[in-house]
Copies of this chain bind each other. A is one copy, B any other.
């Protein structure tokens, strides 16, 4: 008996393009493992992307966005389209955090082969950006999922960056969350193409809708380039109110960008964000690889006051840069 060598990642691409769930899941796992071997496959996958509508959905924990996403998935399916979800919220039931007891509500979705839900491992135990997120979205795009949702928790810069990887960004606010919590979100509000106020069956939801509309009127732009008017949509997971309206707004936003020519600008911004994140990721990889080597020796010189921290950083960039490029020249 000889051991069967593992299938190279490149060989999974065909299965992904045929929409085979097992191939999709395996390739995403390899992306998460961050092996060099997967890079060629991802470059091939990337050539087959550009068809999916990528929708970022963000909101603080407790805003009910996971339940909203489950209902949105059903609404997308009713239009005959396939839908994928990449969840990077550590408190999301999609991500295995069964804190809210929502997992059970997702189970009927899991049975539908045209719904693919994947939770991403996050950096450390926190909800930080997973560098596998955008490549995973590429895989789902190449696999023929027409709508791909990225779920993030809207509290940090990393999460905002991820949502910038989307064509359309939905920010979910909930009534009754403390002012402290809502305040963190101030920056997140600015990135919304569509606002949702969840739990609108609650009596205090109207206040949240009003507050949000007045914030939009005061500080935030109500219209974007191309004439898209940012809507505020109340939804209820109890009555199902607002879900169809939300899907119409999501579809309408993409259509509006296409018609106005804004889409070209958005695609460039998405590619730029991705470039920055990839470059930072490469830097971090080299940094980790050199932690015991160059990084340590430069850090020691800083502690001995032989180098300022900035001079040290410049030296480090210089030294590890050669290796990033050396590595890049290797493949034929």
Instruction: Name A residues whose Cβ lies closer than 8 Å to a Cβ of B.
Output: 39, 42-43, 46-47, 50, 61-62, 90-91, 97, 99-100, 123-129, 134, 153, 155-160, 178-181, 183-184, 186-188, 190, 267-268, 271-272, 274-276, 278-284, 287, 291, 295-296, 298-300, 302-303, 305, 308-314, 316-318, 321, 324-325, 328
Contacts and interface: CB of A to CB of B under 8 A. Distances in A.
A268 B180 contact: no
Given A128-B156, A155-B155, A309 B274 contact: yes
A282 B271 CA distance: 20
Given A46-B305, A156-B159, A280 B283 contact: yes
A276 B282 CA distance: 12
A147 B201 CA distance: 50
Nearest to A327: B314
A47 B328 contact: no
B314 A125 contact: no
A239 to B, nearest CB: 23
Given A184-B126, A188-B126, A272-B291, A317 B279 contact: yes
B316 A275 contact: yes
A43 B316 CA distance: 17
Nearest to A264: B303
Contacts of A287: 275-276, 279
A318 B62 CA distance: 43
Nearest to A274: B309
Contacts of A184: 61, 90-91, 126-127, 153, 155
Q: What 9 A-B pairs are tightest by C-beta distance, nearest first?
A: A156-B156, A125-B187, A278-B313, A128-B157, A43-B308, A126-B187, A271-B299, A61-B180, A62-B180
B180 A99 contact: yes
14 contacts: A46-B305, A100-B180, A124-B157, A124-B160, A125-B187, A128-B156, A129-B157, A268-B299, A278-B309, A279-B317, A281-B313, A282-B310, A283-B283, A318-B328
Given A278-B309, A279-B313, A280-B280, A155 B157 contact: no
B321 A186 contact: no
A310 B128 contact: no
Contact of A305 (B47, B97, B157): B47
Given A124-B187, A313-B278, A91 B295 contact: no
A180 B91 contact: yes
A218 B232 CA distance: 44
Contacts of A46: 305, 308-309
